């Protein structure tokens, strides 16, 4: 395993924390480490399609924190030299405990693709990546959790089947499946009582194709 890690530095697959909600009580099994390296290497060899690389013309993203419910968490989102930085402080006071950011609504048809690739550098904390199929402020979102490695760039591979529907931190049973033809926004969230400062940098977000589905599962 050490040899594989050296051969592909700073590249890990998502540990696929597809939980039952934001305040998750359990997580899905982690992907085997050796298999993770193999999957990411194969995904890197694919012809992925950029969703956003955070250039100077990128639409600004919107932060949404627990202040909407009386909480005291704070966050900011800025782009500098092609890298987006989502940072702030999570507070558990006043029944708070989350900070989030999402893109401006646009129409995205992701049906030709198998999943998402993220290039991120974090602080070792656990984050959620979220998709929404509505432009409304509130409503169901589809999310999956991933864990960062302190101060290291990693590539996170997330197949679309890993996403679960949630609403205000709860799993929505019986919700409509994720409609890949109608994805409106992308976003990140930190929760799970991870109080204190946080920092997540994002280099790019891409979609990887179904063409090599036999190799990436």
Q: Which two tokens stand for residue 98?
A: 């989350």
Tens digit of pLDDT for each residue in 45-102? 566 888 998 987 778 899 999 998 899 999 999 999 999 999 999 999 999 999 999 9
Lookup result for tokens 């006071």: 93
> What dihedral do alpha carbons 132, 135, 136, 140 form, nearest 10°?
-10
What the block records as the tokens of 192 is: 């799970």
Mean of pLDDT values over 109-130: 96
Of the candidates 107, 108, 132, which has an alpha carbon nearest to the alpha carbon of residue 187? 132
For residue 16, how many other CB atoms are within 10 A of its CB?
Answer: 21
Cα–Cα distance, 80 to 201 (Å, whole number): 10
Question: Residue 41: pLDDT above 90?
Answer: no
CA-to-CA distance for 53 and 119, rounded, in angstroms?
10
Backbone φ and ψ for 4, nearest 5 degrees, come out as: -65, -40
SS (H, E, C) 75-94: EEEEEECCEEEEEEEECCHH
Beta bridge partners of 88: 75, 198
Q: How far, in whole angstroms, is CA 14 from its chain's centroid?
A: 9
Give the pTM.
0.80
H helix count then E strand count, the chain: 2, 13
Superfamily of the domain at 12-209: Galactose-binding lectin (2.60.120.430)
What pLDDT is stored for residue 210 in this prediction?
76
Rounded CA-CA distance 62/65 in Å is 10
Q: Where are the domains of the chain?
A: 12-209
Residue 161 has pLDDT above 80, yes or no: yes
99-119 residue pLDDT tens: 999 999 999 999 999 999 999
């Amino acid at each position: 395993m050490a040899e594989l890690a050296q051969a592909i530095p700073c590249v890990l697959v998502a540990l696929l924390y597809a939980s039952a909600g934001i305040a998750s009580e359990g997580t899905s099994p982690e992907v085997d480490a050796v298999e993770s390296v193999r999957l990411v290497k194969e995904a890197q060899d694919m012809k992925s399609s950029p969703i956003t690389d955070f250039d100077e013309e990128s639409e600004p993203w919107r932060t949404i924190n627990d202040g909407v419910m009386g909480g005291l968490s704070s966050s900011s989102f800025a782009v500098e030299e092609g890298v987006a930085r989502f940072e702030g402080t999570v507070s558990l006071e006043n029944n708070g405990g989350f900070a989030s950011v999402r893109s401006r609504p646009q129409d995205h048809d992701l049906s030709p693709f198998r999943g998402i690739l993220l290039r991120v550098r974090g602080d070792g904390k656990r984050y959620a990546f979220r998709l929404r199929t509505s432009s409304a402020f509130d409503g169901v979102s589809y999310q999956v959790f991933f864990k960062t490695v302190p101060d290291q760039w990693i590539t996170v591979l997330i197949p679309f089947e890993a996403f679960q529907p949630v609403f205000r931190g709860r799993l929505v049973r019986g919700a409509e499946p994720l409609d890949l033809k109608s994805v409106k926004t992308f976003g990140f969230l930190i929760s799970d009582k991870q109080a204190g400062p946080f920092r997540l940098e994002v280099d790019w977000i891409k979609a990887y194709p179904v063409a090599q589905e036999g190799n990436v599962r």
